[in-house]
């Protein structure tokens, strides 16, 4: 690789809102998305919410001349909704399905059935190894009373861990997707602190697009305006994040978003806005050597966010256990009811009523059994993430304590951190 | 690191058969296992089938002075059963739960409820990065008619992919566990070909233990003798596998197994035999530089095993789809029955019978719905693994075709390979 090596990468990301039968003008939007991607000829287009595999196959055919490589990440009952189109050959791909992803009985929310995941692509570009990740985390349906918060934090941690462990030999790491997290949300901070990824919107000097980089904006006719009531400019939940390792330097030259309208015809491509980033990778000159990811100040921030995540997962575990116990009581009650009904049926008198009630009782018992098993599994999943967090927290603290420079930073951060201190 | 660097690693692996209430003499065996591990003071003890977290906590307390670091991998409803005890600090750990792991309605087999997984530990030993993996794949209940074969092959592939993607910067990779695979089984060959891991039993010059290195032997009083009827010496399904990368060389100095008896008191520690390996890691001298993992001959073998696995997963997918379609028909039938019952109930006459049959019909419908969803998910999981295999097969073939030396090897392997050629 030459010392003046430089690589320009044009990246496209969009949550396509492609729910069969439910999303408005889906066919037309997919067609126009294909035309747009063909015209723009990005290096990599990463898409979320392509729920119909037929849509992916349609795009694959349409984009074949411009993007010879493509992959659809299959998962869950419905599918992860994730897919990618690449101008460059894909060397390898794999995926990781999140352990926790909502509740099967929340059918109207549907996330559980999607098997939400993170997809990984390995690309070799001019001798440089690029690990590109695409993901979509659990949706947020009620920001004031978010019953999925612990699951989303656990997903953010699993995502961060997956990137951390699979990108150790990559030169450049890229993560695109709909995180369903606002920039200052716990999950987003956890992900960025643990992986060292940078946010294209915050890093670029050349941004054009929606106000404050929002990716769901009130101007978009497909957006439910009630959901954005508290956010006059909209919300930023879709991201292009990146970092370079091992002697490379990466910067975001330009970042563009759509602004609630199709770039050409005036009607939007989706209910989310598309992100279009131009990244530039080059050999790291001495003045650009990135600061150590885990210096005293960074370590202090990391400790603080790990503690916060630990506390959130702990709350989630208590909730999961409460539901498990509740389902356990219902099972006990169901068993008692069954025994009573058997006795009544044997004794005559209200025999017919007893026989009629027997089946719903068995149904209640089976339902409560399923809920019990689900929440036991949920508690185990949260406990697993909490154990990993706790271990890394311990290690970060050890490193922090060994470093004399850290003491002042630690002292400053202590007051805030104590709020969510583990027991 | 000095040029004459040398590191000796003593490894212990055992499937502990620790099923609460069902496994014989569990408490006594766990106690004796603790005593043995304390006495032998291995560098790393990797255990499977520790189903009770209380057993882990008991061992953790008992082993604390000798093995200060320990971790239990929580997963599924019951738990993965995997845990580790280490003499050295554990830098990081994480886990990956297999997408496919049997069927929830096969309650008597129970694997689905365990959430079987692979656990990863990262250790830093004298400046060397060791990635240690521990796993337990789906059990084989009937070798002649193995309904879990596709799942086990998919698990072996996921395991291989997880190791491949997470160990790129490790100096030494170690995998221990109960693979539930005989050495020549497809899953075992796939794992070894894709990761380049070596089998301690085949590599060591100093082996002492059970005949042919078997880890389930007829001499063991806890083993169901009928299961070993076709295997007079027993079966080898537990492994110590390893490899060194990036300028290191690893060899297995000694390998010991128990032989159906406790090393001291005469009664076995488990229904499986323990594996005890002494590995030696040193800087790779020129004469020991390992041959390229993917030379023409290796590539030809890899292509052959990838094709075989592809074909097996394809069969599994057809099976999953058949079950999905069958459940779909049952749903249709259930809906018809419900409509009929509603009509009968409204019309009078056999009203009571109709009302009584209504609830079981709803039960049938819900049951068939669950089976349908499960098999759709299963087909998606198998399809995901098949897509990854197909991609790697394509890449291996490309590399093979570009290499003139490969042509002869390809020609020789063609006849065999054609058997399982994809359509």
For residues B183 and B164, give the distance between their C-alpha atoms in angstroms, rounded to a whole number.
Answer: 20
CB proximity list for A23: less than 8 A, separation 6 or greater: A17, A29, A222, A271
Per-residue pLDDT, B412: 44
Dig out the tokens for B67 from the structure: 């093995």
- Mind telling me how many Å the CA of A7 is from chain B's nearest CA? 24
Q: Of B138, B241, B134, which is closest to residue B195 (Cα–Cα)?
A: B241
pLDDT level of residue A404 (50, 70, 90 thresholds)? low
Pairing of strands B207-208, A207-208: unpaired
**First and final C-alpha spacing in chain A:** 52
Cβ within 8 Å, pair B76-A363: no
Hey, of A57, A74, A161, which one would you mutate to test binding to chain B, going by the most B CBs within 10 A of its CB? A74
pLDDT(B1) > 70: no
In the β-sheet with A128-136, what is the strand arrangement from edge to edge?
A92-97, A117-125, A128-136, A172-178, A238-244, A198-199
Per-residue pLDDT, B404: 62
Q: Which residue of A has its CA nearest to B356?
A: A356
Domain with B208 in it: what CATH number?
3.60.10.10
Maximum distance among all Cα pairs of chain B, rounded to whole angstroms: 94
- pLDDT tens-place string over residues A309-354: 999 999 999 999 999 999 999 999 988 888 888 887 777 666 667 6
Cβ within 8 Å, pair B73-A384: yes
The last residue of a domain, from among A258, A283, A308:
A283
- Mind telling me how many Å the CA of A86 is from chain B's nearest CA? 15
For residues A194 and A192, give the distance between their C-alpha atoms in angstroms, rounded to a whole number.
Answer: 6
Q: Are residues A359 and A252 in the same domain?
A: no
Hey, of B69, B99, B129, B365, which one would you mutate to test binding to chain A, going by the most A CBs within 10 A of its CB? B99
Per-residue pLDDT, A348: 65
Task: Tell me which of B272, B283, B294, B400 is the catalytic residue.
Answer: B272
In the β-sheet with A6-18, what is the strand arrangement from edge to edge?
A69-72, A83-86, A44-50, A6-18, A275-283, A248-257, A207-208
Per-residue pLDDT, B357: 74
**First and final C-alpha spacing in chain B:** 52
Is residue B49 classed as helix, strand or coil in its secondary structure? Answer: strand
Is residue B329 classed as helix, strand or coil in its secondary structure? Answer: helix
**How is B399-419 classified by DSSP, letter by letter?**
HHHH-TTHHHHHHHHHHHHHT
Per-residue pLDDT, A66: 97
Dig out the tokens for A197 from the structure: 């990824």
The answer to whether residue B419 sits within a structural domain is: no
The answer to whether residue B66 sits within a structural domain is: yes
Task: Tell me which of A136, A198, A272, A400 is the catalytic residue.
Answer: A272
The answer to whether residue A420 sits within a structural domain is: no
For residues B294 and B393, give the distance between their C-alpha atoms in angstroms, rounded to a whole number.
Answer: 13
Per-residue pLDDT, B2: 59
- Mind telling me how many Å the CA of A298 is from chain B's nearest CA? 19
Q: What is the 3-state secondary structure (H, E, C) of B215-270?
A: CECCCCCCCCHHHHCCCCCCECCEEEEEEECCCEEEEEEEEEECCCCCCCCCCCCC
For residues A196 and A259, give the distance between their C-alpha atoms in angstroms, rounded to a whole number.
Answer: 29
The answer to whether residue A1 sits within a structural domain is: no
Cβ within 8 Å, pair B93-A388: yes
pLDDT level of residue A216 (50, 70, 90 thresholds)? very high
**CB-based contact A243:A250 (threshold 8 Å):** yes
CB proximity list for B50: less than 8 A, separation 6 or greater: B16, B18, B56, B59, B72, B81, B82, B83
Phi and psi of B123, rounded to 5°? -120, 145
Residue among B356, B360, B380 minimizing CB distance to A76 = B380
Q: Of B17, B295, B312, B51, which is closest to residue B156 (Cα–Cα)?
A: B312
Q: What is the mean pLDDT of chain A?
A: 89
- Chain A residue numbers touching B376 (CB-CB < 8 A): 77
Phi and psi of A175, rounded to 5°? -125, 125
- For the segment B398-409, the average pLDDT, to the nearest whole number, is 66
Q: What percent of chain B has pLDDT over 90?
A: 70
Per-residue pLDDT, B349: 63
Q: Give the global pTM.
A: 0.90
The last residue of a domain, from among B256, B283, B310:
B283
The answer to whether residue B28 sits within a structural domain is: yes
Cβ within 8 Å, pair A77-B373: yes
Q: Are residues B279 and B308 in the same domain?
A: no
Cβ within 8 Å, pair B161-A94: yes
Q: Are residues B66 and B196 in the same domain?
A: yes
Per-residue pLDDT, B420: 39
Q: Are residues A214 and A183 in the same domain?
A: yes
For residues B86 and A393, give the distance between their C-alpha atoms in angstroms, rounded to a whole number.
Answer: 19
Helices A26-40 and A53-63: crossing angle, nearest 10°? 30
pLDDT level of residue B195 (50, 70, 90 thresholds)? very high
Q: Which of A260-264, A301-305, B41-45, B244-248 has the lowest mean pLDDT?
A: A260-264
Dig out the tokens for B268 from the structure: 């076995």
The answer to whether residue B1 sits within a structural domain is: no
Q: Are residues A257 and A397 in the same domain?
A: no
- Chain A residue numbers touching B388 (CB-CB < 8 A): 93-94
Hey, of A98, A99, A321, A364, which one would you mutate to test binding to chain B, going by the most B CBs within 10 A of its CB? A99
- Mind telling me how many Å the CA of B93 is from chain A's nearest CA? 7
Q: Of A224, A155, A207, A164, which is closest to residue A185 (Cα–Cα)?
A: A155
Residue recorded with tokens 């670029």: A204
Hey, of A101, A133, A359, which one would you mutate to test binding to chain B, going by the most B CBs within 10 A of its CB? A359
Q: Kindly state the helix (H) or strand (E) to which residue B117 belongs, with its residue range.
A: strand B117-125
Per-residue pLDDT, A2: 59
Q: Are residues B101 and B130 in the same domain?
A: yes
CB proximity list for A85: less than 8 A, separation 6 or greater: A37, A44, A45, A47, A59, A60, A63, A67, A69, A70
For residues A386 and A78, give the distance between their C-alpha atoms in angstroms, rounded to a whole number.
Answer: 29
Q: Are residues B146 and B224 in the same domain?
A: yes
Which domain, by its residues, includes A352? 296-407
Q: Which residue of A has its CA nearest to B383?
A: A74
Q: Of B86, B110, B93, which is closest to residue B21 (Cα–Cα)?
A: B110
Q: Which residue of B has its CA nearest to A168?
A: B169
Rg over CA atoms, chain B: 25
**CB-based contact A334:A364 (threshold 8 Å):** yes
For residues A178 and A49, give the distance between their C-alpha atoms in angstroms, rounded to a whole number.
Answer: 9
Q: Are residues B140 and B18 in the same domain?
A: yes
Q: Domain count of chain B?
A: 2
**How is A241-273 classified by DSSP, letter by letter?**
EEEE-TTEEEEEEEEEE--SS-TTTSS-SSSSP
Cβ within 8 Å, pair A97-B99: yes
Per-residue pLDDT, A420: 39
Q: Which residue of A has its CA nearest to B53?
A: A380
Q: Are residues A227 and A369 in the same domain?
A: no
**CB-based contact B95:B119 (threshold 8 Å):** yes
Q: Are residues B55 and B186 in the same domain?
A: yes
For residues B294 and B299, give the distance between their C-alpha atoms in angstroms, rounded to a whole number.
Answer: 5
Cβ within 8 Å, pair B380-A74: yes
For residues B236 and B178, give the distance between their C-alpha atoms in angstroms, rounded to a whole number.
Answer: 9
For residues B219 and B259, give the distance between their C-alpha atoms in angstroms, rounded to a whole number.
Answer: 7
The answer to whether residue B324 sits within a structural domain is: yes
- For the segment A356-374, the average pLDDT, to the nearest whole number, is 84
- Chain B residue numbers touching A165 (CB-CB < 8 A): 92, 94, 120, 165-166
Q: How many C-beta atoms surround the C-beta of residue A321 within 10 A?
A: 16
The answer to whether residue A240 sits within a structural domain is: yes
Residues recorded for chain B: 423
- pLDDT tens-place string over residues B64-121: 999 999 999 999 999 999 999 999 999 999 999 999 999 988 888 889 999 999 999 9
Q: Are residues B206 and B75 in the same domain?
A: yes
- Mind telling me how many Å the CA of A52 is from chain B's nearest CA? 13
Dig out the tokens for B278 from the structure: 């002494």
Cβ within 8 Å, pair A115-B161: no
- pLDDT tens-place string over residues B232-280: 999 999 999 999 987 899 999 999 999 987 666 668 999 999 999 999 9
Q: Which residue of A has its CA nearest to B161?
A: A94
A272 is catalytic: yes
Maximum distance among all Cα pairs of chain A, rounded to whole angstroms: 93
Residue among A74, A93, A373 minimizing CB distance to B391 = A93
pLDDT(A265) > 60: yes
Q: Which residue of B has its CA nearest to A97?
A: B99
Q: Are residues B90 and B238 in the same domain?
A: yes
């Amino acid at each position: 690789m030459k010392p003046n090596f430089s690589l320009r990468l044009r990246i496209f990301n969009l949550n396509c809102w492609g729910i069969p039968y439910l999303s408005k003008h889906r066919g037309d939007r997919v067609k126009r998305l294909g035309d747009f991607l063909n015209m723009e000829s990005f290096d990599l287009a990463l898409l979320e919410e392509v729920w119909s595999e037929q849509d992916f196959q349609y795009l694959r055919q349409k984009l074949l001349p411009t993007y010879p490589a493509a992959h659809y990440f299959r998962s869950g009952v419905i599918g992860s909704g994730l897919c990618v189109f690449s101008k460059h050959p894909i060397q390898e791909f794999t995926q990781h399905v999140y352990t926790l992803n909502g509740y099967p009985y929340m059918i109207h929310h549907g996330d559980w059935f999607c098997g939400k995941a993170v997809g990984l692509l390995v690309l070799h570009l001019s001798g440089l190894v690029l690990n590109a990740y695409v993901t979509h985390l659990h949706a947020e349906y009620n920001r004031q009373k978010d019953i999925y918060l612990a699951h989303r934090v656990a997903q953010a941690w699993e995502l961060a861990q997956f990137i951390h462990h699979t990108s150790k030999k990559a030169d450049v790491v890229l993560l695109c997707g709909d995180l369903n997290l606002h920039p200052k949300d716990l999950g987003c901070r956890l992900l960025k602190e643990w992986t060292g990824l940078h946010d294209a919107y915050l890093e670029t000097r050349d941004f054009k697009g929606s106000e404050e980089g929002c990716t769901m904006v009130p101007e978009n006719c497909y957006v439910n305006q009630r959901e954005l009531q508290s956010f006059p400019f909209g919300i930023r939940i879709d991201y292009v994040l990146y970092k370079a390792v091992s002697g490379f330097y990466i910067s975001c030259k330009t970042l563009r978003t759509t602004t609630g309208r199709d770039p050409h015809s005036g009607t939007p491509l989706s209910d989310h806005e598309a992100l279009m980033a131009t990244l530039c990778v080059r050999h790291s000159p001495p003045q650009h050597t990135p600061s150590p990811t885990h210096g005293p100040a960074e370590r202090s921030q990391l400790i603080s966010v790990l503690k916060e995540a630990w506390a959130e997962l702990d709350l989630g575990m208590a909730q999961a256990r409460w539901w498990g116990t509740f389902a356990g009581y219902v099972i006990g009650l169901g068993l008692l009811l069954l025994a009573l009904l058997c006795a009544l049926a044997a004794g005559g008198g209200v025999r017919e009523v007893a026989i009629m009630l027997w089946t719903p009782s068995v149904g209640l018992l089976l339902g409560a059994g399923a809920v019990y098993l689900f929440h036991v599994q949920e508690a185990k999943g949260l406990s697993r993430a909490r154990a990993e967090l706790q271990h890394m927290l311990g290690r970060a603290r050890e490193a922090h304590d060994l470093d004399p420079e850290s003491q002042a930073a630690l002292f400053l951060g202590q007051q805030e951190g104590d709020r969510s201190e583990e027991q």
